[in-house]
A and B are shown apart, each in its own frame.
Chain A
Amino acid sequence: MTAATAAPGTPEVLIRTPAEIRRSRYLGFTYLFLAALVLLLFYRWSVDLGNFTFKLARPTDPSAPDLTLSAGRTTLIVGAVLAVLGGIQLSRGFGKATNIVLGVGLTLFIFAFLAWATAQSSLGQFSFVGMMNQTIVRSAPITLGALAGVMSERVAVINIAIEGQLLAGAFVAVVVASPLTQTDQALILGAPLGNWIGVGAAILTGMLLAWVLAVLAIRYVVDQIIVGVVITIFVGGMTAFLALRWLADNPQLNQAPIFKAIEIPLLTKIPFFGPVLFKHNIFVLGSFVFVALLTILLFRTRWGLRARAVGEHPAAADTLGVNVYRTRYLNVILGGAIAGFGGAFFTLGSVGRFDENMTNGRGFIGLAAMIFGRWHPIGAMAAGLVFGFADAMAQTLGILQTGVPSEFLGMAPFIATILVVAGLVGKARPPAADGQPYIKQ
């Protein structure tokens, strides 16, 4: 998008729109600001603090050496690098690598922050492997929610009901699984059969809600954002209503065993990466599988091409014989299945019981992750990981006691989302027909 295609034969000329020039300048000043922050605060604070240690293995993990560095030197180097990045960004820019460099810059900044936070803490160390593991775990429901959004919006149906689908999945999963797991049963991939039936019920619930969304949006041509909000309000009210009416007096309906982490042979034995990436329950592993599956389905198959055509130009797709309505129904409902599966994570993959409004806006963050990830499954997962990391870091900083109020760290994902949709990280382009009903002529 940065380089306009020039006429063949002539060298490619770099043309930048005023908006891009403005953005480039913003980014340059952002780097300089971060550099100033690191040098003037973190470096000054940590220069006398000595070393900090990131633990790369917990007692139960395959052994890995600790990462021990001098806090002062680390912050100094990071500050210098950020200043250089700012200088380059302001003078000549990074061209196509802009976003990658931004990612690297932000990672370095966070690294310097963690270095100072660890060095100043009385502990002097923290479990980096634990934080990264939590990042993956916490990203799973966000990623799954975002994938539900991708499925639906790729065929131009806005799905803002992800939050409701997650919450309904969470509720149904535990209510179905609890009575079925009262007796001891053999574990299948980390949980008794009853849990699997609970997950199945959650998936069906997600599909049912998605079907309602699809009928109202496609057949009755109701405003899609309003339908999504209403479904979310409905599920919030319904689950709270049923939780009080059923679960309050019948606690045995609200306690299910949780899915245990699966040991994948060989992979979990890799130092650091094994426990971070592979020692997880089916929800986390499932999110990896779904990302791969959807990427292939949407971008490598004839079916995916047709689905995307329906999202970009339904009339053209219709002319070529694609059944627009059927494609939309199918994709929205499959998306609902993924969201229902993700919803089960909150109960069966995490705490084993349902609490009122326990998804706590994760579905909306999933929606943001979808936009952040530019309507692509891999992008959605990357965004989910960023939000998961923010979550995990807030938890870690609580342990390290930095004096920074945890509320501000909690805001980070939301502020990041606003910056993303405001175009700081480049303009994201949704499917062209997104949100528009299609009425066959």
Chain B
Amino acid sequence: MSGRPPETEDKEQSGFGAFLDDLTGVNVDWRAAVLVPALAVLAALVVSVIIIIVSDIDLWREFSLSALGDSLAQARSAMWALLVGSFGSLTATSETLVFSAPLILAGLSVAIGFKAGLFNIGAEGQMLIGGMAAVLVGIKFSLPIVFHLPLVVIGAIVGGGIWGGIAGLLRARTGAHEVITTIMLNSIAGLAVIWMLNTTFFQAPGRNDPVSRDVLGSARLPRLLGFLDRTDLRLHLGIVLALVVAYIVYWILFKSTLGFEFRAVGFNPDAASYAGMRVTWLYTSVMALSGALAGLAGMSQINGVLYRATPGFAAGIGFDAISLALLGRSHPAGVVAAGFLFGALRAGGLEMQVATDIPIDLISVIQALVVVFIAAPALIRAIFRVKTGEEIGQLTKGWGT
């Protein structure tokens, strides 16, 4: 590959791409936006099947064709369980959407950072702080739901926003790289949550372990399918919130002056500064906004699903969000699509673990593989022998800036 210049492609496309352009009225690099992600997901699933088979310990103890057959059958039923567990029934679809809501919100958080040239690895910590703020508002005040819920949302935005804003301010004022500071802030947030959950204010009465009180009924996101009167349909307002927020983020990024400045800073901070944009303010505000979005993701988990906080309530969603934002190419629409996919993987993964004994941690492996294939389209080119459009290239900068 090296030595050859990257294939240049005309924006004018032919074939299916042109058809999609006509259909939607926008000119997008469809290969990069749709084909590569789809093939990346496919490749990752194939690799995960191989992992399932190779990791079968019975196969290692005594290799035989029938053992290989068993292991193939297990892999097949695992993939089937992934599908059934995510879209196989109304309950499954509801679960997929329940997982999608925080994933989309956290994915938007990472994506908006990428657009401004900042790599927010701190979504997990911002989720924790935003979620704890939502718990605080949720147990402290007793209000009618129409006032209480908005207050919870504001609390989560403020909590997550402050936590993200710290990293942005540090970057802007002192040059401390956001990758390092957000990793550290994650750890600090994790410890802070454990400490908070052991205080009398938060801790559930009669408990010795770090578990918070339940948030009040008026602070819970209403269930959307409540009229069906089934307890297994946990689908809540969070998914609507996530979609609305995705549109707002789209509007901010592509229709507002602020978003233009975010993208300008992401493209070239020096040029943006020369053009009179206040880089200090932009770095701080984009990280605060990013943190606020992650805070909403934490709120969606607390007030929509769990109703109380435990130390691990962010459940790695903040880290999945990184893969998710890359898969969605940091565009709100892409993030929503990737969010549904990752939500389906999480819901299906649970079913897979129950039905076939394949640990759900395989999902993290799949997600990591997806990102590898996305980030290195040359691999996809080599495997599938297709043209892949533009490369992602360098999103981050070294420590020295």
Tell me the A residues contacting B by CB distance below 8 Å. Answer: 156, 158, 160, 216, 219-227, 229-231, 233-234, 236-238, 240-242, 244-246, 250, 361, 364, 367-368, 371, 405, 407-408, 410-411, 414-415, 417-418, 421-423, 429-430, 432-437, 439-440
The answer to the question of B73 belonging to the interface, with a C-beta cut-off of 8 Å to chain A, is no
**B interface size (C-beta, 8 A):** 56
Of B1, B195, B323, the residue contacting A230 (CB under 8 A) is B323
Judging by beta carbons under 8 Å apart, are A429 and B400 in contact? yes
Of A230, A246, A250, A367, the residue contacting B371 (CB under 8 A) is A230
Tell me which of B13-21, B150-158, B177-185, B267-275 binds A.
B177-185
Judging by beta carbons under 8 Å apart, are A411 and B191 in contact? yes
Tell me the B residues contacting A by CB distance below 8 Å. Answer: 1-3, 51, 55, 57, 119, 121, 170, 174-177, 179-181, 183-185, 187-188, 191-192, 194-195, 198, 319, 322-323, 326, 358-359, 361-365, 367-369, 371-372, 375-376, 378-379, 391-400
What residues of A have a CB within 8 angstroms of the CB of B399 in the complex? 158, 371, 430, 434-435
Apart from A226-B395, A241-B365, list 17 A-B contacts with CB within 8 A.
A158-B399, A220-B1, A220-B376, A233-B319, A237-B363, A240-B361, A241-B364, A245-B359, A246-B55, A408-B195, A411-B191, A414-B184, A422-B170, A423-B175, A435-B396, A435-B400, A439-B2
Name the residue on A nearest B372 (C-beta): A230
Closest 6 CB pairs of A and B: A237-B364, A435-B398, A234-B368, A244-B359, A240-B361, A407-B195
Q: What is the number of contacts between chain A and chain B, taking CB atoms within 8 Å?
A: 162
The main secondary structure of chain A at its interface with chain B is helix
Name the residue on A nearest B184 (C-beta): A414
Judging by beta carbons under 8 Å apart, are B364 and A236 in contact? yes
CA distance A437 to B376 in the complex (A): 14
What residues of B have a CB within 8 angstroms of the CB of A414 in the complex? 184-185, 187-188
The main secondary structure of chain B at its interface with chain A is helix
B381 CB, min distance to chain A CBs, angstroms: 10
Judging by beta carbons under 8 Å apart, are A216 and B400 in contact? no
Judging by beta carbons under 8 Å apart, are B371 and A364 in contact? no
CA distance A224 to B179 in the complex (A): 12
User: Are A437 and B55 also in contact (CB < 8 A) when A220-B376, A233-B323, A234-B368 are?
Assistant: no
Of A237, A241, A434, the residue contacting B398 (CB under 8 A) is A434
What residues of B have a CB within 8 angstroms of the CB of A361 in the complex? 183, 187
User: Are A241 and B55 also in contact (CB < 8 A) when A226-B326, A233-B367, A361-B187 are?
Assistant: yes
Judging by beta carbons under 8 Å apart, are A417 and B180 in contact? yes
What residues of A have a CB within 8 angstroms of the CB of B3 in the complex? 440
A384 CB, min distance to chain B CBs, angstroms: 16
User: Are A223 and B393 also in contact (CB < 8 A) when A233-B323, A241-B365, A430-B399 are?
Assistant: yes
A392 CB, min distance to chain B CBs, angstroms: 17
CA distance A203 to B363 in the complex (A): 27
CA distance A240 to B316 in the complex (A): 13
CA distance A129 to B156 in the complex (A): 46
What residues of B have a CB within 8 angstroms of the CB of A437 in the complex? 394
Judging by beta carbons under 8 Å apart, are A250 and B57 in contact? yes
